[in-house]
Amino acid sequence: MADKKIGWIGTGVMGNSMCGHVIKKGGYKTFVYNRTKEKTAELVKLGANWCASAKEVVEKSDIIFTIVGVPKDVEEVYFSEQGIFKGVRKGSIIVDMTTTEPGLALRIYDQAKKQGVSALDAPVSGGDVGAKNATLAIMVGGDKSVFQDLLPIFQMMGDKEKIAFMGKPGAGQHTKMSNQIMIASTMIGVVESMIYALKAGLDVGDMINVIGKGAAQNWSLNNYGPRIIKGDFNPGFFIKHFVKDMGIALQEAKRMNLSLPGLALANQFYISAIAIGLENLGTQGLYKVYERINGLDKE
């Protein structure tokens, strides 16, 4: 695979670090595209070649990774006139690492097959920290043989213990929905425990240090709790993108006749965050909603 050329589309909070690891660790000749050209500057300094469109990227690449914002962006990147399917070469491999709709992953897989191209859906979890430290969890759907071929590249971006083939096309996206459902309700617990500790007069940092080592320990508490204490609400993952993910999960649940009241409640809290202008904060920005409803933002 070392002689293959890599294409990378989407160089935001996550994609920039992920692509950087592939360039530095793999030494691949790499072609990059982002709607905002400035966001590719660091990668260009590492040796990547900037392209003017997704179509140009795939015309020059053998293995193409995409990680963009919302399903509409995925649609545009893959199916528009300047998109992937207008220029991708037979025998190429395309990997969408965006969290998107399982049905869209299937559409991409089917269209790829028609054009003699392999496709994987491979969403990730771990936020900006996981992307920077190459410790992401990567959940993959598609053909297992293609997954095995790309495993060395996935291991440049993620923790090898957290990279898994989940099954047929769309299975990666369904796994990510399960992940987001868990995080959604967990974030309510994290914020409520912190608000309670604050009101009870505890040192919130000491509280996190204690319960974060016991039965209540979880990634969100131990990583986002300290950020909240410092007033750091910068996005490792945007609230607006999390609401998108919860919307997809609720849509899929409805299709499968599932009732998920915990997810629905968390979704309403995060919609409240958007309503008061917090959509560009990280998911830990839910704390600010609780501050407001408990009157703590005035103290």
Amino acid identity, position 122: A
Residue 72 contacts by C-beta under 8 Å, 6 or more apart in sequence? Answer: none
> What pLDDT is stored for residue 297 in this prediction?
81
> What pLDDT is stored for residue 162 in this prediction?
97
> What pLDDT is stored for residue 13 in this prediction?
86
Q: Are 241 and 128 in contact (CB under 8 A)?
A: no
Domains of the chain, first to last: 6-168 (3.40.50.720), 174-298 (1.10.1040.10)
Classify burial at 161, counting beta carbons within 10 Å of its beta carbon; exposed 0-12, middle 13-18, buried 19 or more.
Answer: exposed
Q: What is the DSSP string of 196-253?
A: HHHHTT--HHHHHHHHTTSTT--HHHHHHHHHHHHT----SSBHHHHHHHHHHHHHHH
> What pLDDT is stored for residue 299 in this prediction?
60
> What pLDDT is stored for residue 128 in this prediction?
87
Residue length, the chain?
Answer: 299
> Which parts of the chain sit beneath pLDDT 70?
1-2, 299
Q: Give the whole-angstrom CA distance, residue 130 versus residue 223.
A: 11
Q: Give the whole-angstrom CA distance, residue 237 versus residue 130.
A: 11
**Active-site position among 37, 113, 114, 176:** 176
pLDDT, one tens digit per residue, over 88-119 is 999 999 999 999 999 999 999 999 999 999 99
Classify burial at 292, counting beta carbons within 10 Å of its beta carbon; exposed 0-12, middle 13-18, buried 19 or more.
Answer: middle
Amino acid identity, position 174: H
Q: Are 149 and 120 in contact (CB under 8 A)?
A: no
| Bridge partners, residue 2, by sequence | none
> What pLDDT is stored for residue 164 in this prediction?
98
> What pLDDT is stored for residue 127 in this prediction?
85
Tokens of 114: 């028609």
Among this protein's residues, is 176 annotated catalytic?
yes
Q: What is the DSSP string of 73-98?
A: HHHHHHHSTTSGGGTPPTT-EEEE-S
Classify burial at 99, counting beta carbons within 10 Å of its beta carbon; exposed 0-12, middle 13-18, buried 19 or more.
Answer: buried
Q: Give the whole-angstrom CA distance, residue 148 versus residue 191.
A: 39
Kindly report the pTM of this predicted structure.
0.92
Angle in degrees, 0-180, between the axes of helices 144-157 and 15-26, rounded to the nearest 10: 90
